Amino acid sequence: MERAIVSAATGAMSSVLAKLAELLHEKYKLAKGVRKDIEFLRSELSVMNDLLYVMADIQELDALNKGWRDRVRELAYDVEDCIDLSVARFCHAGGDASKGGFIGTKQLARKLKKIRVSFQIAHQIQELKARVIEESDRQKRYKLDGLIGSSSDPSRNKVDLRMCALWEETKNLVGLDGPMDEIIRLLMPREGEVPSQQVRTLSIVGCAGLGKTTLANQVYQKIQGHFECKAFISVSQNPNIKDILMKICSQVGATPSMADDEVLLVNKLRERLQYKRYIVVVDDIWHSDPWKIIGQALVRTSLGSIIIVTTRLKDVAESCCFSHGGRVYDMRPLDDNDSRRLFFKRIFDSEDKCPHELERASEDILEKCDGIPLAIISISSFLAVDVPQSADHWNKVKESISSPLTGNKAVETMQSVLSLSYFNLPHHLRTCLLDLSAFPEDCIIESDRLIGKWIAEGFVNAEPGESLYEAGLRYFNDLINRSLIQPLHEVRGVVVSCRVHDVILNFLVSKSIEENFLTLSDPSGLPTSLHSKVRRLSLHNSYQENVVSWIKYIKPYVQSLACFVDCKELFSLMEFEVVRVLDLEDRLPLTNAHLANVEVLLQLRYLNIKGTGVSELPAGIGKVQNLETLDISLTQVEKLPSTIVHLEKLARLFVSPKVKFPAEGFSKMKRLEQLTLLSIHRQPLSFLKELGQLTNLRMFEAICDDNYEGSAWEILTSSLRALCSHKLVGVDINMRIGSNAIPMDSSFPALQSLQTFMGLLVNLEVLQLETKRFTPEDLRVLGGMPALENLILYLADTHAGPFTIRGHEFQRLKSFRVGELNQILFMPGGMPNLKHLKIRLAFTTNSYSDLGIQHLASLIMVDVGINAWCDHRGAVEDVEAKTRSLLDTHPNRPTLIFNTNFLDDCYFTKRVGKISYFTKRVGKINDEN
């Protein structure tokens, strides 16, 4: 049956139309009258589908139209559930009825069961037909027509990775450089000054979207090297105090335990920090109560320590710092000059260049943004991506931004801008964006988790020659480019996780409720939607007793469940009869018993039990024939059942290294695209051999531990060679440093495998390699790989090198990370497309003072780390000065992060500050350094 296409605009209507067409297939043996009813449904629902798309582009519907829209969407979901369950039961009754030839009692019983199912389908189709006629008549009676909408074409942009590298630095240059310097002056002792005899506390306060967190993070990154202990944690609107205390403990070097209560955690923190100089940033406090506990944990006897708090509420800011003699820093919106600089940089890659004909429209738009950075970023991203650069188009945008109301100007402005951005998204992106409302505040969301859910829900529609995952990744990248989600972490030049700004999240939650797209729990534990049928459910808080019966009632209708709290009322999971998505990550109470009878979940496509207490998958998992994504990483599962090989639709499988695969049958899983993170030497040799038959495999991640058998490695390399002419583009094999995973004798050189099969992988785009030995000859092999775009080298030998990147090598490489070596030199013409460079050097007297970085024409970010003895201080400073000077004159003005560790007998560390240049504002939260 054709894949369901589901959207926030039409619900499951597009999917239903395809499935109704499938029901007309001869194999279902439906009566002639039923077939006519199905044709009628297709015709009527097709018109309704078109009308729903028109309605979706109207920002304000009247109550009459909105009610009709909601009922028709519900009707579509009901039709889909009816078809899916009926077809599944029909297939379970014995296969294709058109084959005939039933003989004997069992066969006759099976045929009779299929006939009974056919009658059930006919009866349900009659009921659905009556509902469709009723809604169609209602639409005509009340003249629900004359609606005008708009649409926009989907963007196909890839992520501009400068967004990941320069998110913080751009804000620093546009309005935050002055505040950052002022805060540092207030908190840090001047040169030669004795550190303060008390802990200094400062609260940064301001409205949503001003950049409070960014400012605090800038200060934190700038001065953290001066402190023995450091922590940066977010509190958010509904804090879990125990989790917050545990995070602080982990970051400052205390030893928290899940068994610790809040009192014990506070005592552990006080003991750890009592004689340490520390800096702690407590971000996004909404209430004073959490601070009463956090403040007790941060002892006041640590001389020269610093506490920074950010909040939207002035009384909370005062409560946090005045009791300790601190001060409040009142953050203001950007002034007109900084607003223009940020606005123009986003659109024109320049702070002061704007076409003359757009100047007036720019001023009018900026006036409505009221100096709020998030509003400016949102509207400028929209203008840069979707709107032609003409005065007429920009004036229409200006007119569509509603004037902020008195009393809450910032909030009204933000909602207006976000609403404009939302309604100018293509329908498929709106749906994916709304799905993010399922995640709590400050949640770090992995891209694989998100894309797998989108695919399972039916939100993703691939174009010809494109896999569903590739399409989902395109959607994800597009939302990043539009500044609607913030990139967090990047691996090998690819964004692997994100978060949603809480201002945008609040907007998405309200929009999801309005559209009845998602139901979630509010702080009281009550559902946010009172609709009787809940299709998507996200639990953030423990439910109260008065809604336990409500959960039981809605289970038969829920298609997607995301749980971020331990809720016993969820069980039994088998009562979620039509569920497509079960996202139960990190729900430790989930055990083997809860997955018993999983085979009854006939529609399940996505199962995420990562980080749960499950230790064994049931044999019935092999009967969940629609399953496409299975994540059992960080569980206690050590062996997969033999039935796993029957999951012929499985495309993404995430496991832990301790998991052992079945010895036979793995080659049946022809649709598998992603396989991570298995241990090679725990697997049967027959499994490694069958791996080569998975012709759709795109990404493969594994580790080699110290239980090495040469035959296993040889079989694996043979299988990977067999896949090189198909779709394999990413291989990540972690050869653990310090182990004997790869023999080092002359009969089996360290990278013989690289030379024998890596060079043949013409499609390989991503490679991460850890090894004890690495030679210039090995580098030549990598340099000749024609498709390689992202390369990470972890070298155990700190004296590796010298390495020279020659002019004809690494022609497509975009991201290069290497460490640790003593010498590297980039020659003209080498790595012409490299954007991100991260190198770690063990400095010696023979190290280059000129790394040749100026020859890398496409650079946008450079991260250099050097370990050196104190007596090399002068030479290292020369390298830094030389590098800075070269990048100063580089056409792209790339960002430079230069970190130096000077070591002597005392082993002390000095952190050298950042020098930041850029050509376009981009975003990144959580610098790895």
Cis peptide before 264 (omega within 30 of 0): no
> In this predicted structure, what is the pLDDT of residue 43?
86
Q: Average of pLDDT values for 231-258? A: 88
Tell me: pLDDT of 678 over 70.
yes
Reported as a pLDDT band with limits 50, 70 and 90, residue 709 is: low
Q: Average of pLDDT values for 281-302? A: 87
Count of domains observed in the chain: 6
**CB within 8 A of 378, min separation 6: which ones?**
417, 418, 421, 483, 484
Same domain, 550 and 487: no
> In this predicted structure, what is the pLDDT of residue 14?
84
> In this predicted structure, what is the pLDDT of residue 585?
95
Inside any domain, residue 551:
yes
842 in Cβ contact with 820 (< 8 Å):
yes
Q: Average of pLDDT values for 886-892? A: 77
Which amino acid is located at 504 in the chain? Answer: I
Inside any domain, residue 155:
no
Token code pair at residue 545: 């007793």
Same domain, 410 and 447: no
Tell me which residue of 129, 175, 668, 673 sits closest to 451, measured CA to CA: 673
Instruction: Give residue-wise pLDDT tens across range 31-55.
Output: 778 788 888 888 888 888 888 888 8
Tell me: pLDDT of 450 over 90.
yes
Same domain, 192 and 312: yes
Range in 362-376, 518-532, 586-600, 739-753 the model is least confident about: 739-753
Query: Distance between CA atoms of 803 and 679, rounded to whole angstroms?
Result: 31
Same domain, 90 and 118: yes
What percent of the chain clears pLDDT 90, i.e. is strictly above it? 26
> In this predicted structure, what is the pLDDT of residue 317?
87
Tell me: pLDDT of 914 over 80.
no
> In this predicted structure, what is the pLDDT of residue 206?
84
Q: What is the CATH number of the domain that holds 289?
A: 3.40.50.300
Token code pair at residue 696: 């759709």
Instruction: Give residue-wise pLDDT tens across range 212-222.
Output: 888 998 899 89
Same domain, 832 and 875: yes
Q: What is the per-residue DSSP string for 681-723?
A: GGS-HHHHHHGGG-TT--EEEEEE-S---HHHHHHHHHHHHHH
Inside any domain, residue 466:
yes
Range in 733-747, 800-814, 915-929 the model is least confident about: 915-929
Inside any domain, residue 411:
yes
Domain assignment of residue 100, given as a range? 13-141
Q: Average of pLDDT values for 326-340? A: 86
> In this predicted structure, what is the pLDDT of residue 908?
37
Tell me: pLDDT of 322 over 90.
no
Q: What is the CATH number of the domain that holds 48?
A: 1.20.5
Inside any domain, residue 676:
no
Tell me: pLDDT of 743 over 50.
no
Q: Per residue, what are the HEC states of 521-580?
A: ECCCCCECCCCCCCCEEEECCCCCHHHHHHHHHHHHHCCEEEECCCCHHHCCHHHCCCCC
Tell me: pLDDT of 402 over 60.
no
Query: Distance between CA atoms of 513 and 507, rounded to whole angstroms?
Result: 10
Query: Distance between CA atoms of 41 and 34, rounded to whole angstroms?
Result: 10
Q: Domain end: 92, 124, 141, which one?
A: 141
> In this predicted structure, what is the pLDDT of residue 228?
92
Helix ranges (DSSP H) in 142-256: 162-171, 177-187, 212-223, 241-252
Token code pair at residue 629: 């994504």
Instruction: Give residue-wise pLDDT tens across range 132-144.
Output: 888 877 777 666 5
270 in Cβ contact with 163 (< 8 Å):
no
Instruction: Give residue-wise pLDDT tens across range 459-482.
Output: 999 999 899 999 999 999 989 877
Reported as a pLDDT band with limits 50, 70 and 90, residue 410 is: low
Inside any domain, residue 289:
yes
Inside any domain, residue 879:
yes
Reported as a pLDDT band with limits 50, 70 and 90, residue 444 is: very high
**CB within 8 A of 752, min separation 6: which ones?**
none
Tell me: pLDDT of 744 over 50.
no
Reported as a pLDDT band with limits 50, 70 and 90, residue 692 is: very high
> In this predicted structure, what is the pLDDT of residue 144?
56
Same domain, 472 and 550: no
Q: What is the CATH number of the domain that holds 491?
A: 1.10.10.10
Q: Domain end: 586, 613, 644, which one?
A: 644
Same domain, 46 and 73: yes
Same domain, 623 and 608: yes
Q: What is the CATH number of the domain that holds 593?
A: 3.80.10.10
Same domain, 413 and 433: no
Same domain, 416 and 439: no
> In this predicted structure, what is the pLDDT of residue 741?
41
Same domain, 540 and 474: no
Reported as a pLDDT band with limits 50, 70 and 90, residue 799 is: low
Tell me which residue of 252, 317, 249 sits closest to 283, measured CA to CA: 317
Q: Domain end: 618, 644, 670, which one?
A: 644
Instruction: Give residue-wise pLDDT tens across range 1-24.
Output: 445 578 888 888 888 888 888 777
Reported as a pLDDT band with limits 50, 70 and 90, residue 210 is: confident
> In this predicted structure, what is the pLDDT of residue 29?
67
Helix axes 468-481, 447-457, angle to 10 degrees: 120
Tell me: pLDDT of 165 over 50.
no
Inside any domain, residue 534:
yes
Instruction: Give residue-wise pLDDT tens across range 74-116.
Output: 888 888 888 887 777 666 655 443 344 344 555 655 565 666 6
Query: Distance between CA atoms of 482 and 163, rounded to whole angstroms?
Result: 10
> In this predicted structure, what is the pLDDT of residue 354?
85
Same domain, 252 and 373: no
Which amino acid is located at 86 in the chain? Answer: S
Instruction: Please provide the average confidence, as pLDDT, over all residues in the chain.
Output: 79
